[in-house]
């Protein structure tokens, strides 16, 4: 074997070695973990996401069949004054009795936007307040905080900051508490089926856009004023909302009711606590895996 041949072999070996080294270096850099890339203490920011994804995959059932009492309230006020429609007024003491029962008996208040993700709950109940006015902030919100319960408020956009209505600051404070979620009760509370197509669209869609922009939130639900709606109303609602709240009585059953005609139970001031409790007892969530 002459020295030229040996040299050639050595050179080939060196080239092979360098090529392998290069491949190794490339592989190393492509798989470099975050703690080396960023020169910061090792925190794999994908870990949480992975766990979340896995647990969600594990937790999510194929189907959720739920029966939920969704109570509809209006004004929470001790002194009804000269208001003609006193059925809509509930004394704070009555609301307190109900919240006390809810919290002491393991019922779980949910926001309207949770109505399709009830796998987290076994005894859900939703409390919805229409119109609200400042009475909600003065008389209901303190009770929600006392009993740590959630409520959905349906606001009339054009009334905000007006006489006896909620102010921007009050609404922000309630949203920040985590106990109150805001949904739309249109711009001006006019009966939707009496309006022109254009006006109806404006009432439904603009109220959502304005509330979302003003309070930096996402809305899911339109609450039809005085429970007045028809097919056209639903078609407009479907463009931007996931749910529509009606005023037909009775429990909400996920396997029966349309999400744009969700029934609510009128928690008026003449409803005895025993009736309220009977509705609560029908709350159930069945998971199909």
Query: Binding string to Zn ion for residues 215 to 244, with x set by CB under 5 A, is what?
Result: ----------x-------------------
Q: How far is the CB of 128 from Zn ion (least distance, A)?
A: 11
Whether 229 and 191 have beta carbons less than 8 Å apart is answered as no
> What would the x/- binding string for Zn ion be over residues 247 to 266, using CB under 5 A?
--------------------
Query: Do 125 and 69 meet the contact criterion of CB atoms below 8 Å apart?
Result: yes
Is residue 35 within 8 Å of residue 43, measured between CB atoms?
yes
Is position 203 an interface residue for Zn ion (rule: CB under 5 A)? no
Dist. CA 289–CA 65, nearest whole Å: 11
Rounded Cα gap, residues 226 and 228, in angstroms: 5
Q: Which residue is nearest to Zn ion (CB)?
A: 130
User: 269 burial class (0-12, 13-18, 19+ CB within 10 angstroms)?
Assistant: middle
Comparison of 64 and 154: residue with beta carbon closer to Zn ion: 154
Q: How far is the CB of 91 from Zn ion (least distance, A)?
A: 19
Select 69 or 225, whichever has its Cβ closest to Zn ion: 225
CA distance 249 to 272: 16
Binding mask 85-114 for Zn ion (x = CB under 5 A): ------------------------------
CA 127, CA 10: separation in Å to the nearest integer? 82
Tell me how many residues contact Zn ion (CB under 5 A): 3
Instruction: Verify binding: residue 130, Zn ion, rule CB under 5 A.
Output: yes
The one segment of 75-83, 126-134, 195-203, 261-269 that binds Zn ion by CB under 5 A = 126-134
The answer to whether 126 and 71 are in contact (CB under 8 A) is yes
- Three-class secondary structure of residue 143 per DSSP: helix
**Position 131 contacts Zn ion (CB under 5 A):** yes
Minimum CB distance to Zn ion, residue 245 (Å) = 10
Q: State the residues that interact with Zn ion by CB under 5 A.
A: 130-131, 225
């Amino acid at each position: 074997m002459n020295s030229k041949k040996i040299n050639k072999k050595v050179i080939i070996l060196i080239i092979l070695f360098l090529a392998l080294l290069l491949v190794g270096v490339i592989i190393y850099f492509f798989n470099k973990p975050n703690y080396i890339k960023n020169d910061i203490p090792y925190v794999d920011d994908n870990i949480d996401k992975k766990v979340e994804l896995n647990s969600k995959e594990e937790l999510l059932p194929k189907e959720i069949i739920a029966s939920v009492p969704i109570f509809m309230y209006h004004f929470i006020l001790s002194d009804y004054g000269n208001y003609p429609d006193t059925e809509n007024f509930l004394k704070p003491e009555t609301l307190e009795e109900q919240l006390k029962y809810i919290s002491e008996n393991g019922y779980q208040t949910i926001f309207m936007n949770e109505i399709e993700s009830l796998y987290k709950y076994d005894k859900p109940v939703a409390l919805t307040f229409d119109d609200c006015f400042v009475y909600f902030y003065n008389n209901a919100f303190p009770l929600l905080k006392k009993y740590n319960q959630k409520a959905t408020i349906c606001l009339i956009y054009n009334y905000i900051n007006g006489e006896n209505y909620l102010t921007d600051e009050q609404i922000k404070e309630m949203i920040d508490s985590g106990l109150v979620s805001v949904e739309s009760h249109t711009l001006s509370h006019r009966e939707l089926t009496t309006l022109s197509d254009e006006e109806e669209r404006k009432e439904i869609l603009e109220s959502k856009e304005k509330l979302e922009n003003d309070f930096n939130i996402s809305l899911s639900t339109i609450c039809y004023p005085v429970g007045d709606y028809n097919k056209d109303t639903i078609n407009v609602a479907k463009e931007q909302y996931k749910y529509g709240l009606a005023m037909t009585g009775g429990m909400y059953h996920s396997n029966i009711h349309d999400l744009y005609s969700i029934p609510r139970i009128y928690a008026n001031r003449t409803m005895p606590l025993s009736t309220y409790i009977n509705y609560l007892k029908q709350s159930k969530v069945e998971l199909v895996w």
